[in-house]
Chains A and B, each alone.
Chain A
Amino acid sequence: MPAAQANSAHTTRPPEQQLRVASVADVSKTYFMGTLAVEVLHGISLDFYGGDYISIMGPSGCGKSTLMNILGCLDRPTTGAYFLGGEDTSKLKDDELSLIRGARLGFVFQSYNLIQQLDVLENIEMPLFYQGFSQAYSHRAAFQLAERVGLADRIHHKPFELSGGQQQRVAIARALAMDPLIILADEPTGNLDSRSGLEILDLFDELHEAGKTLILVTHSDELAERTSRRIRLLDGRVEQDERMGV
């Protein structure tokens, strides 16, 4: 599996020796609505290291989601550069971006975004499918991931037969399928009741302890308190970027 070496580079290293997984350099993003140009991000520069556990917070409209889309290679910055695993994404073709999204990134969405016609196992193995893994291998890997998030007994259920917490765990298993460089989560507990929200947060903690790099966008202080690096955005600028107890 790829990316294993990234996660061995753990937070125990001092910052100057940590391996970079991603960095945004002077990134700005302008949306054009007819003749009106709205600049959402004003020159943001950030480095992300292997094993980081990051929360991005800020009021609505501050550019969190836009930053998240850029980090997820779903959107390109208007100016500035975004490097992912040493690769300048602005130079990549659409197909290569697809490849990177599937292999190097894992997405967890607020509304789970599972495909309703597919069962749990098929949802989990989808990234493997697009990376060209054989059916037999994908099945095995997806089953292990389902076990890891505690859904081994639900693998043939459809998403609508599961609770919100269970659905989000399927989404996390899916995000882990390719063992990505970064797991990007956009308000992962936003649609959950507090108890299942806590379960999800515990799962994130586990992933962090296992050495994964996580970037969470959230409104919840409770979630942010668990993270080791807290970034605050305000009006498209980094207002605060603090590291907790290294």
Chain B
Amino acid sequence: MNEWVFDSLPPAPESRQRDRRSRFGWRISQITRLGVKSIFSHGLRSMLTVLGIVIGVAAVIAMLAVSEGASFEAQQQFRDLGANNILVKSVKPVEVEESSRLGFGPPQAIVYGLTHADIQTIRDTIPGVRNVISSRIVKKNIWHLGNNMNADVVGTAVDYPVSRNYSLRDGRFFSESEMRDHGNVLVLSQEAADVLFPIENPLGQSVRIDSDYYDVVGIMESEGFSNLGQNQAGASNSAPARVFIPLTSSRSRFGETTTRQTAGGMESETVELHEAVIQVEDQETVIGIGEVIEQILARRHRDVDYTIEIPLALLRQAEESALRDQIVAGAIAGISLLVGGIGIMNIMLASVTERTREIGIRRALGARKSDIITQFLVEAVILSAVGGLIGVVLGITIPFFISTFWGMTTIVTPVAPILAFSISAMIGVIFGIYPATRAADMDPVEALRHE
């Protein structure tokens, strides 16, 4: 028998690399070059694939940013009311209203609401209550020269601005001594100041309510948040502007009973206090103290002529609903990412079919299965990584534009881009593996015959 020219297999490709490290690097870098080349040679197809991922990733980030911003805004409103506060308000009970209509003769004053004694009890018996700021709210027509307006005249304590995170724009709030002296001093809200003093500086001027004149000592920042509390209590939708006077002055000037002209005739009501802000030492105890107040008031009142609002509880609710919103938004965006991933798989599968012959040629020229798998996988990963990157950039820019043009609060948390990008990369790998193995498993003879 004749001798053989060779007796050994050719050396493995990796062994041609000088050192161990470059053996791995060699294949990846070479095949990446190959992948990039083939991505560019199928420009339109690659662009469409990338587009799917871009939209998915950008949608995830933008939707999370918008919902995060919305929930932040909602929570901010409750945070402004004070997380350490409990709001108690007087409301006209339903039964009293009914019984008063049955009566004959002159209208009787309806008596309801919080009393000084209630507040005293709360202040004295519940531990952990730091302060209680109680207020009376009387609707009055207020005047300055020829200008007049309807306003809620709030008789309150000196701590009112602090308790509601409400700050002065100008001047000062009234003092303890003015409180003690039933002083005729008044603090305007921004809205009231705008109407009564369109031109001049209101500080030092005087405002007339009924027949008394009050010195303007300060102007508050524009309120806005306090509308929320009003709406919650079921009061008028557009809360009238507020002005603030000492509680003591309110009692001595206006008395306990107020009379209002209504369609049916005169209506009188006697309310000692309209609202009280109960400040609690420790935020942890707010909800518990709220329950205690509920019990105390229930025992002291025949009718339910009060409401208790706990901003912290509302905040918790807002947080919960925000979480739900975020899960929904995340799920919708996640679905669009998934669709993007299926797009990648679809296009990779089409590309495998289209490039069957190329696969056959490469196999005939010495490509191993793993070389083919790597090539297709690298292509899928490059496509989804590029799509992911563009998507992240777009996903960060879109919320920015939404904020600028619609004034919505949007918050891009660092987690969202990282999450979206890694999901898109993962989708690239997962949806790339199947087409890649299908390409590699093809019989070289069959593949070469493919037209």
| Size of the chain B interface, CB-CB below 8 angstroms | 38
- Which one of B5, B15, B37, B366 contacts A103 once the chains associate, using CB atoms below 8 Å? B366
* Contacts from A to B (Cβ < 8 Å): 2-3, 5-6, 9, 16-21, 47, 49-50, 69, 72, 74-75, 83, 85-87, 92, 94-96, 98-104, 107, 109, 113-115, 117-118, 126-127, 129-135, 174, 178, 181
- Which one of B9, B38, B365, B448 contacts A96 once the chains associate, using CB atoms below 8 Å? B9
- Asked whether B12 lies within 8 Å of A5 as measured between CB atoms, the reply is no
- Asked whether B10 lies within 8 Å of A113 as measured between CB atoms, the reply is no
B301-360 contacts to A (CB < 8 Å): 357-358, 360
Report the nearest B residue to A101, measured CB to CB: B366
With A and B bound together, what is the CA distance between A80 and B17 in angstroms?
Answer: 37
- Asked whether A19 lies within 8 Å of B3 as measured between CB atoms, the reply is yes
Please name all residues of chain B whose beta carbon is closer than 8 Å to the beta carbon of A104 when the two chains form the complex. Answer: 6, 10
Majority DSSP secondary structure for residues of B touching A: helix
- Asked whether B26 lies within 8 Å of A132 as measured between CB atoms, the reply is yes
Please name all residues of chain A whose beta carbon is closer than 8 Å to the beta carbon of B15 when the two chains form the complex. Answer: 132
4 pairs of A and B residues whose beta carbons are closest in the complex: A102-B366, A132-B13, A85-B6, A86-B4
- Asked whether A6 lies within 8 Å of B368 as measured between CB atoms, the reply is no
B1-50 contacts to A (CB < 8 Å): 1-10, 12-17, 26, 30, 37-38, 41
- Asked whether A130 lies within 8 Å of B364 as measured between CB atoms, the reply is no
Report the nearest B residue to A126, measured CB to CB: B365
A-B CB pair tally, cutoff 8 Å = 128
B371 at the interface (CB under 8 A from A): yes
- Asked whether A115 lies within 8 Å of B2 as measured between CB atoms, the reply is no
- Asked whether A101 lies within 8 Å of B6 as measured between CB atoms, the reply is no
- Asked whether A101 lies within 8 Å of B2 as measured between CB atoms, the reply is no
With A and B bound together, what is the CA distance between A85 and B6 in angstroms?
Answer: 5
Please name all residues of chain A whose beta carbon is closer than 8 Å to the beta carbon of B6 when the two chains form the complex. Answer: 3, 6, 21, 85-87, 104, 181
- Asked whether A101 lies within 8 Å of B364 as measured between CB atoms, the reply is yes
B287 at the interface (CB under 8 A from A): no
- Asked whether A101 lies within 8 Å of B363 as measured between CB atoms, the reply is yes
| Cβ of B175 to closest chain A Cβ, rounded Å | 85
With A and B bound together, what is the CA distance between A96 and B363 in angstroms?
Answer: 12
With A and B bound together, what is the CA distance between A131 and B363 in angstroms?
Answer: 12
- Asked whether B2 lies within 8 Å of A47 as measured between CB atoms, the reply is yes
| 10 CB < 8 A contacts A-B | A5-B5, A50-B5, A86-B6, A86-B7, A87-B7, A98-B363, A98-B369, A99-B368, A103-B366, A135-B30
With A and B bound together, what is the CA distance between A181 and B9 in angstroms?
Answer: 12
Please name all residues of chain A whose beta carbon is closer than 8 Å to the beta carbon of B13 when the two chains form the complex. Answer: 99, 130-132
- Asked whether B5 lies within 8 Å of A20 as measured between CB atoms, the reply is yes
- Which one of A87, A113, A129 contacts B361 once the chains associate, using CB atoms below 8 Å? A113
- Asked whether A132 lies within 8 Å of B445 as measured between CB atoms, the reply is no
Report the nearest B residue to A129, measured CB to CB: B30
A50-B5, A104-B10, A132-B15 are known contacts. Are A95 and B365 too (CB-CB below 8 A)? no
Report the nearest B residue to A112, measured CB to CB: B361
A98-B369, A101-B365, A101-B366 are known contacts. Are A113 and B448 too (CB-CB below 8 A)? yes
- Asked whether B366 lies within 8 Å of A127 as measured between CB atoms, the reply is yes
